[in-house]
Amino acid sequence: MKNPLLRKILAVGGLTRSGKLMEATAAIQRALSSVASPPLRRAAVGPVAVPETEPPRDLTDVLDGFVREVKSNLRAANEAANEAGIAEAPVVIRPAGPRFGASSFTGAAGTRAFKLFEPAGFDHRPLPLVVMLHGCTQDPDDFAAGTRMNELAQEQGFFVLYPAQAPRSNAHKCWNWFSPPDQRRGAGEPSLLAGMTRHVIETHAIDADRVYVAGLSAGGSMAAILAREYPDLFAAAGVHSGIAPGAAHDVASAFMVMKSGPGALRSARPAGASRLAGAPIIVFHGDADTTVAPANGQALISEALGAEPTAVSEVAGGSDRGRRAYERFVWRRADAPADSPSLAEHWIVHGSPHAWSGGAPAGSFTDPGGPDASREMFRFFNEHPGRAQKR
């Protein structure tokens, strides 16, 4: 038999059927490690890492089936042991360590590569997912390094999905937030990113009620579109140095909005845009940003609040352990108690440029001196458990 993956799959099946669950677990882990990190190559027109080869889809599906079978048998064995009063420690499958693997997703609107961070040590219980959308000229590795989101994910237990914009779709690898076909549900890049997110939810131990999206600059602008158009998928959103949906309709208007703020260019929702209430949003913006005018941060808050009768229920300021000074505003419904989940939160970081606040120097477009935007966004996400909150 020439296919080594197929040999491993058949071996796992034999072990499972003969009741050798621990041996099957070890075989699964060996097989997964052999396909988990395919070799990477650099794209000719940009530094987006994409898989050189991918395992055959039908074979990996079979392997996933064996994984589910072994897990089910292990759970049954543990339950039987507990009922019988057996004192031995339960058998669990423990991953060897966190993984940051590369793959791709194809939808009706095209194909995009992505990287997925999977934390270790959480016993396969469903975990939250944060979708991170990079800014122009960035890629998933750069964005992960700059935001330190993977370190936070391992500490607190959540998956992180990093879609990669293709240079063929935008020469500077910007998400096309300014293009009307890419501003509405069921079309263009929003549909592709929503489809990729659903694919990851279906194939990993993810809590579908706790799925969030965040991004920087062009990525933040696209995150705001996803929050507005897919509130049934994303429970909350984080936008750093971004622009409100519908504020531009082409490249020329995009540059005008970036320079001066929405102003007269603010438009109604584009044709076909969702009429659903958008997901709650946390906005970070530096008041020294010369790439995207700080006025865009307030426009994002106004877009998120809409006609909802609201009031600023909390205002804070200062600096965090010697970091940059900031102001923080929290909006809740006018008649809501002070401890109810907020509708929106706005951080204005004084003296910060066009950069991820509190980010690491290892990544591009970061401001290490600012308050920790990654940690504050995940704190905000934890306050908004999504559909579970509404039931």
Domain CATH number, residue 205: 3.40.50.1820
Same domain, 320 and 208: yes
Same domain, 117 and 250: yes
Task: Count the domains in the chain.
Answer: 2
Residue 52 lies in a domain: yes
Distance of CA 138 to the CA centre of its chain: 15
Instruction: Please report the pLDDT score of residue 312 as a whole number.
Output: 73
Same domain, 335 and 192: yes
Residue 94 lies in a domain: no
* Residue-by-residue pLDDT tens, the chain, 391 positions: 445 544 545 454 554 455 554 555 555 555 555 544 444 333 333 333 333 344 444 444 544 554 455 455 545 545 554 554 444 434 344 446 899 999 999 999 999 999 999 999 987 789 999 999 999 999 999 999 999 999 999 999 999 999 999 999 999 999 999 999 999 999 999 999 999 999 999 999 999 999 999 999 999 999 999 999 999 999 999 999 999 999 999 999 999 999 999 874 444 444 444 444 689 999 999 999 999 999 999 999 998 888 666 667 777 777 766 789 999 999 988 888 878 889 999 999 999 999 999 999 999 999 999 999 999 999 999 999 875 444 3
Instruction: Please report the pLDDT score of residue 311 as a whole number.
Output: 67
Residue 89 lies in a domain: no
Provide CB contacts within 8 A for 146, sequence distance 6+.
138, 356, 359, 360, 362, 363, 364, 365, 366
Active-site annotation, residues: 217
Q: What is the 3-state secondary structure (H, E, C) of the chain?
A: CCCHHHHHHHHHHHHHHCCCHHHHHHHHHHHHHHHHCCCEEECCCCCCEEECCCCCHHHHHHHHHHHHHHHHHHHHHHHHHHHCCCCCCCCCCCCCCCEEEEEEEEECCEEEEEEEEECCCCCCCCEEEEEEECCCCCCHHHHHHHHCHHHHHHHHCCEEEEECCCCCCCCCCCCCCCCHHHCCCCCHHHHHHHHHHHHHHHHCCEEEEEEEEEEECHHHHHHHHHHHHCCCCCCEEEEECCCCCCCCCCHHHHHHHHHHCCHHHCCCCCCCCCCCCCCCEEEEEECCCCCCCCHHHHHHHHHHHCCCCEEEEEEEEEECCCCCEEEEEEEEECCCCCCCCCCEEEEEECCCCCCEECCCCCCCCEECCCCCHHHHHHHHHHCCCCHHHHC
Same domain, 299 and 367: yes
Residue 228 lies in a domain: yes
Same domain, 121 and 67: no
Strands 206-216 and 310-319: unpaired
Residue finishing a domain among 83, 107, 135: 83
Instruction: Please report the pLDDT score of residue 348 as a whole number.
Output: 97
Give me the domain span that covers residue 284.
99-390
Residue finishing a domain among 55, 83, 111: 83
Q: Do the Cβ atoms of 117 and 144 come closer than 8 Å? A: yes
Same domain, 139 and 205: yes
Same domain, 54 and 159: no
CA pair distance 182, 171, nearest whole angstrom: 16
